[in-house]
Amino acid sequence: DKCLRCGLATLKSGRSILIMKCQKGHTPTERENFNHAMPSPAGYRTALRFFATAERFGLPVLSLVDTVGAWPSFDAEIAGQSEAIATNLTAMAGLKVPMVTIVVGEGGSGGALAVAMGNKIGMLSKAYYSTITPEGAASILGRYKDEAHKKEQFPKDCQHLANVQNIYAPQLKELGVIDEVIWEKDGETCKEFPATANNITAFVETSLKELDSMDTSDLVQQRYGKFRAMGKFKEYPDAERQTLTGAPAEAKKAPKPAPPPCPKLLTHLTEKVLKGEHSFFKGKGPKDCPRTAKLMTCDAPEQAPNSKTILDRDGPEAMAKWVRETSKTRILLTDTTMRDAHQSLAATRMRTFDMLKGASEMSKHMHPLFSLECWGGATFDVSYRFLQEGAFDRLAKLRKAIPNICFQMLLRGANAVGYKSYPDNVVEEFVRASAECGMDVYRIFDCFNDVEQMKVSINAVKKANKVAEVVMCFTGDFLSKKETIYTLEYYKVLCKKCVDAGAHMIAIKDMAGLLKP
């Protein structure tokens, strides 16, 4: 181990001892060579062997602690860092020879305690001993507006936490964690410290002399009692403890979570849509209309049988019948956020990661909808070409996150989700694979309203026991006397062809916005 050193030594008084110390160094090169005073499992196991040696030859142990803590690395964890520390604590608890510990610099957490369970513990007056450094505590607890604020406030937080943590020698003596403060003389350095060295020698000799009078069982018992006495607690009588633990739990209603801050992107889109230079809505809102976007919380509606329930339980024909009956009393809606919305507004660049962040909320709040259009169209090729994502993987992840709402997609008939006509078996396999990943409703269309070009898709969807929503693309104005091609009769005949082809539902696709209210 680069840090923890163990060996035999002789005090000036002539007494033989076993000594262990944390090597730190004083220059950047030295500190690097000694692993910045962070022992590895190998170091702690070396100390463990020397504990056994001390017992075998009846030698007292002196440990000099100066470590920021045990080495925090994958290699150390693989080698059993926590086990090595725990084994040392067990060994020291039962050590049958005197042990004296001095914290000479830094005493960091379990890494220090693994060689510091002395019968007598001294601490240099300028050292610290704690479960975490004040800097580490401030990094966890500190809250800063920006780097400038952190630069000013962080040192103050460290100083405050150092006092609160009671890391200084006088505080720890008062708490009973250490036995004596070993005062360091001002002006002395690591190269020249005669007065401090005398104080250390006096503490070691006095402690060993006091411990010499104890037999092995007394040494173990004294060490046990010392560490058991650290900390303050209250032990309740049985009757009082039973009263406290047996009291009925107070029922508390969890407060509604506060809505998070509105994302900047949503604020920007709101400003553009409602107040933009070319906005249709500009100046038309009521006076009490909010000036910008905001997020609000709302209770999730109770789950009731919906289109997904009927489809999974009874099949596509039953679901289509349910839609016809339900639509008499209410409008069934489809949400297009995860497909047509970002295809139209953001070049289809919404990532799977972005969708999944809101998927659980959609599952909780949007199950009364007929469906979520979340796939197909341009989302397929953009996933692969630009986002470097798997389109089928996206569908499967969304289905896992939203199991209770029908998924809907746009299918371009013989073109599937591409831009040319594909062989029949490609279209059939595409439908099978997408249905397996979670697709429910296929909105199938052909830009020329050629039903023959849609039949392969329709049959594949029906084979997968999913819903074929066959589209009639609307164009022209059949109310105009000048219209001679796209007349009402044309659409009546087209609708019958769609039904005969096996459509469960008919959709009217008004892609040019020509259909009148």
CA 62 distance to own-chain centroid: 44
Picking from 41-50, 164-173, 349-358, 366-375, which range would have the lowest pLDDT averaged per residue? 164-173
- Domain check: are 165 and 59 in the same one? yes
| Predicted local distance difference test score (pLDDT) of residue 193 | 86
Same domain for 486 and 391: yes
Q: CB neighbours of 329 closer than 8 A, spacing ≥ 6?
A: none
Query: Of 309, 280, 122, whose CA–CA distance to 204 is shortest?
Result: 122
- Please report whether residue 419 resides in a domain: yes
- Please report the pLDDT score of residue 272 as a whole number: 83
Same domain? 345 vs 198: no
pLDDT digits (tens, 9 = 90+) for 78-107: 989 899 999 999 999 999 999 999 999 888
Place of tokens 């599937």: 416
Average pLDDT over residues 336-364: 90
Does residue 517 sit within a domain? no
Would you state the pLDDT for residue 233?
66
Cα dihedral across residues 263, 268, 271, 274: positive or negative: negative
Query: If DSSP states are collapsed to H, E and C, what string results for 269-333?
Result: HHHHHHHCCCCCCCCCCCCCCCCCCCCCCCCCCCCCCCHHHHHHHHCHHHHHHHHHHHCCCCCCC
Which stretches within 94-193 are classed as H helix? 109-113, 134-141, 147-165, 169-175
The CATH number of the domain where 451 resides is what? 3.20.20.70
* Largest distance between two CA atoms of the chain: 122
Q: What is the rounded distance in angstroms from the CA atom of residue 240 to the CA atom of residue 237?
A: 5
Q: Which residues form the domain of 379?
A: 299-509
Taking the model in full, what pTM does it have? 0.52
Q: What is the three-class DSSP state of 193?
A: coil
Neighbouring-strand partners of residue 27:
none
Residue 277 placed within a domain: no
Decide if 55 is inside a domain: yes
Inform me whether the pLDDT recorded for 291 exceeds 70: no
CA atoms within 13 A on the CB side of 15: 18
Give how many domains the chain has, as a whole number.
2
Please state which of the ranges 184-193, 247-256, 329-338 shows the lowest mean pLDDT: 247-256
Final residue before a domain boundary, out of 204, 229, 254: 229
The CATH number for 215's domain is: 3.90.226.10
Same domain, yes or no: 51 and 136 = yes
User: Is 58 a residue whose pLDDT tops 70?
Assistant: yes
Residue 253 lies in a domain: no
The pLDDT confidence band at residue 471, using thresholds 50, 70 and 90, is very high
Q: Is residue 13 part of a domain?
A: yes
Boundary residue ending a domain (229, 258, 274): 229
> What gap in Å lies between CA 455 and CA 498, rounded to an integer?
9
Residue at 265 is within a domain = no
Q: Please report the pLDDT score of residue 65 as a whole number.
A: 92
Separation CA 248–CA 313 (nearest Å)? 44
The answer to whether residue 285 sits within a structural domain is: no
Instruction: Map residue 128 onto helix, strand or coil.
Output: strand
- Across the range 268-294, mean pLDDT stands at 79
Residue finishing a domain among 229, 264, 281: 229
At residue 171, what is the residue type? Q
- Residue predicted with more confidence, 73 or 236: 73
Mean pLDDT within 152-166: 88
Residue-level pLDDT at 249? 67
How far is it, in rounded angstroms, from Cα 175 to Cα 260? Answer: 44
Q: What is the mean pLDDT of the chain?
A: 89
In three-state form (DSSP H/G/I as H, E/B as E, the rest C), the secondary structure along 364-407 is HHCCCCCEEEEEECCHHHHHHHCCCCCHHHHHHHHHHHCCCCEE
354 and 220, same domain (yes or no): no
Q: What is the mean pLDDT of residues 129-144?
A: 87
Asked whether residue 501 falls in the same domain as residue 360, the answer is yes
Q: At residue 254, does pLDDT exceed 70?
A: no
Whether residue 347 has pLDDT greater than 80: yes
Q: Which of 187-201, 233-247, 363-377 has the highest mean pLDDT?
A: 363-377
Q: Quick one: 217 and 309 in the same domain?
A: no
**In this predicted structure, which of 20-29, 124-133, 288-297, 437-446 has the lowest mean pLDDT?**
288-297
